[in-house]
């Protein structure tokens, strides 16, 4: 198997949806996932103990990815890959149904402040999404030292039709043989008792409401009429447009000093997917304006991107009534999707 440096990490928008894990790991093998691996101690140990498996580490924190990447590289492990993303986005966009053999979540952020508990990772919806991506019999292991979160996890697992406990009780107070994580060490040193939830995906069919996000054609709209990009840039104001699948924020407009393009910085939030990208307005010599996606980063032409371009065109049409659309690849109707 080719050893690829685990210090390199991927982002959801860089990989195909769904990901081709066999290509990424250089072999087909059972897929294990650790969500929120933090310092990477447990992930390194998992990859070492399970050489026959492909091990995927998912983490949102870039410093954590750097530290864990160095550990994995020093350990010379070739069966682990890292993704920098929110776990829900990885599950949703990269993982096919019934593709994960095991998932570990050690000491997820407890969000202890009053009113912040809605930010916790593990709830009914997350367990449904997880269930849709796990194989029947796949192992789910969760640990926490936070009393209130433990109660929430226990209640969600008990309510879930998709998981069954592997122990006689919903959680156990020790899990001998497993490596102690950094947060677990802190909890033990401070006298808190971690709870370990050893559960298993049962054979109940998963909900069919988490499709892999669809990608559309690259958006491309051509406008003709009396409007110049200087004036468009001057009239631009930040704005927000909601649509039935999420929200679009137009943040700022920038003018290129070299080729005259106008770049509209745009944030698109669709379910667990978030993209910050540039919508580009390019002048043609014949006076037409072409609107498309700027080649900055790894923009993916999702439905939200088509909605964003449609909203931008709506705004332009309202501000410059002389503009007419002469060509459009947009899948989303103008105006209809705004509400
Ligand atoms: C309390 S730390 C625990 C770290 C490690 N598992 C341990 O036990 O030492 C929680 C970790 O989860 C990561 N995290 C939080 N929300 C996440 C999400 N939605 N997706 C992926 N990682 C997440 C955080 O960046 C942090 O590193």
Cα–Cα distance measured from residue 231 to residue 227, given in angstroms and rounded to the nearest whole number: 7
State the pairing for strand pair 239-243/262-270.
unpaired
Last residue of a domain, one of 201, 228, 249: 201
209 within domain boundaries: no
203: which residues sit within 8 A by CB, 6+ positions away? 136, 137
Last residue of a domain, one of 174, 201, 228: 201
- Same domain for 98 and 231, yes or no, is no
Atom of ligand 1 nearest to the CA of 185: 9
State the pairing for strand pair 239-243/324-328.
unpaired
Q: Report residue 213 as tokens.
A: 């996000």
Angle made by CA atoms 168, 120, 10, in degrees to the nearest 5: 100
Q: For position 225, what pLDDT does the model report?
A: 87
- Same domain for 120 and 185, yes or no, is yes
263 within domain boundaries: yes
Cα–Cα distance measured from residue 153 to residue 127, given in angstroms and rounded to the nearest whole number: 10
16 within domain boundaries: yes
State the pairing for strand pair 100-106/31-35.
parallel
Residues of the chain with pLDDT under 70: 1-7, 332-339
20 within domain boundaries: yes
- Same domain for 186 and 243, yes or no, is no
Nearest to 317 by CA among 202, 214, 244, 226: 226
- How far CA 241 is from CA of 209, 217, 247, 335, in Å, comes to 24, 22, 6, 11
- Same domain for 268 and 185, yes or no, is no
State the pTM of this model. Answer: 0.92
187 within domain boundaries: yes
State the pairing for strand pair 31-35/54-59.
parallel
Nearest CA residue ID for atom 14, ligand 1: 36
- How far CA 326 is from CA of 106, 223, 264, 290, 291, in Å, comes to 54, 6, 21, 10, 12
Last residue of a domain, one of 140, 168, 201: 201
Residue 308 and residue 291 in contact, taking contact as beta carbons nearer than 8 Å: no
Q: Report residue 320 as tokens.
A: 């410059």
- Same domain for 179 and 323, yes or no, is no
The residues with which 262 forms a beta bridge, in sequence order, are 255, 281
- Same domain for 107 and 253, yes or no, is no
* Residue range(s) defining the domain that contains residue 227: 220-328
Catalytic residues: 109
- Same domain for 307 and 194, yes or no, is no
Nearest to 268 by CA among 245, 291, 290: 245
Ligand 1 binding pocket, CB closer than 6 Å: 35-39, 58-61, 64, 86-87, 106-109, 121, 181-184
Measured in Å, residue 95 CA sits from the centre of ligand 1 at 19
Cα–Cα distance measured from residue 41 to residue 45, given in angstroms and rounded to the nearest whole number: 6
Residue of 12, 34, 60, 192 to mutate, ligand 1, most atoms within 8 A of C-beta: 60
Residue 3 and residue 51 in contact, taking contact as beta carbons nearer than 8 Å: no
Atom of ligand 1 nearest to the CA of 34: 6
Domain total in the chain: 2
Cα–Cα distance measured from residue 12 to residue 89, given in angstroms and rounded to the nearest whole number: 7
- Same domain for 253 and 303, yes or no, is yes
45 within domain boundaries: yes
Q: For position 7, what pLDDT does the model report?
A: 65
- Same domain for 168 and 285, yes or no, is no
- Same domain for 191 and 249, yes or no, is no
**Residue whose tokens read 């410059």:** 320
22 within domain boundaries: yes
Q: For position 338, what pLDDT does the model report?
A: 39
Cα–Cα distance measured from residue 263 to residue 252, given in angstroms and rounded to the nearest whole number: 8
Q: For position 336, what pLDDT does the model report?
A: 44
Cα–Cα distance measured from residue 54 to residue 34, given in angstroms and rounded to the nearest whole number: 11
Measured in Å, residue 59 CA sits from the centre of ligand 1 at 6
- How far CA 60 is from CA of 11, 15, 37, 271, in Å, comes to 10, 16, 9, 17
Q: For position 162, what pLDDT does the model report?
A: 98
CATH code at position 124: 3.40.50.150
DSSP 271-293: TTEEEEEEEEEEE-TTS-EEEEE
For the stretch 301-313, pLDDT in tens is 999 999 999 999 9
Q: For position 333, what pLDDT does the model report?
A: 64
- Same domain for 82 and 225, yes or no, is no
273 within domain boundaries: yes
Q: For position 115, what pLDDT does the model report?
A: 87
Nearest CA residue ID for atom 25, ligand 1: 61
Measured in Å, residue 61 CA sits from the centre of ligand 1 at 8
Nearest to 105 by CA among 127, 89, 84, 125: 127
Measured in Å, residue 207 CA sits from the centre of ligand 1 at 26
- Same domain for 189 and 284, yes or no, is no
Cα–Cα distance measured from residue 229 to residue 87, given in angstroms and rounded to the nearest whole number: 40
């Amino acid at each position: 198997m080719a050893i690829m440096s685990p210090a390199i990490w991927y982002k959801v928008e860089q990989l195909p949806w769904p990901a081709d894990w066999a290509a990424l790991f250089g072999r087909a093998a059972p897929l294990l996932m650790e969500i929120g691996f933090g310092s990477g101690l447990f992930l390194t140990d998992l990859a070492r103990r399970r050489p026959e498996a492909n091990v995927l580490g998912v983490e949102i924190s870039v410093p954590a990815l750097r530290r864990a990447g160095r550990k994995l590289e020093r350990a010379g492990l070739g069966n682990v890959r890292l993704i920098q993303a929110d776990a829900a986005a990885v599950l949703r966009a990269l993982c096919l149904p019934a593709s994960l053999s095991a998932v570990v979540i050690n000491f997820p952020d407890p969000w202890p402040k009053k009113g912040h508990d809605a930010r916790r990772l593990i709830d009914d919806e997350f367990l449904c999404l997880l269930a849709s991506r796990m194989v029947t019999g796949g192992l789910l292991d969760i640990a926490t030292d936070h009393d209130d979160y433990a109660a929430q996890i226990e209640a969600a697992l008990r309510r879930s039709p998709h998981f069954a406990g592997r122990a006689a009780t919903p959680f156990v107070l020790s899990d001998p043989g497993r490596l102690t994580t950094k947060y677990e060490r802190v909890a033990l040193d401070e006298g808190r008792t971690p709870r370990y939830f050893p559960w298993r995906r049962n054979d109940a069919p998963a909900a069919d409401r988490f499709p892999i996000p669809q990608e559309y054609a690259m958006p491309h709209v051509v406008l003709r009429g009396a409007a110049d990009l200087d004036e468009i840039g001057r009239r631009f104001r930040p704005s927000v447009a909601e649509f039935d699948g999420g929200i679009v924020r137009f943040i700022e407009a920038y003018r290129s000093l070299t080729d005259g393009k106008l770049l509209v910085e745009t944030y698109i939030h669709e379910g667990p997917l978030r993209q910050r990208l540039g919508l580009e307005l390019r002048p043609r010599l014949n006076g037409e304006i072409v609107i498309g996606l700027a080649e900055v980063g790894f923009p993916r032409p999702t439905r939200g991107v088509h909605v964003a371009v449609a909203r931008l065109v709506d705004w332009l049409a309202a501000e410059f009534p002389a503009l007419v659309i002469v060509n459009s690849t947009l899948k989303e109707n103008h105006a209809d999707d705004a509400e």
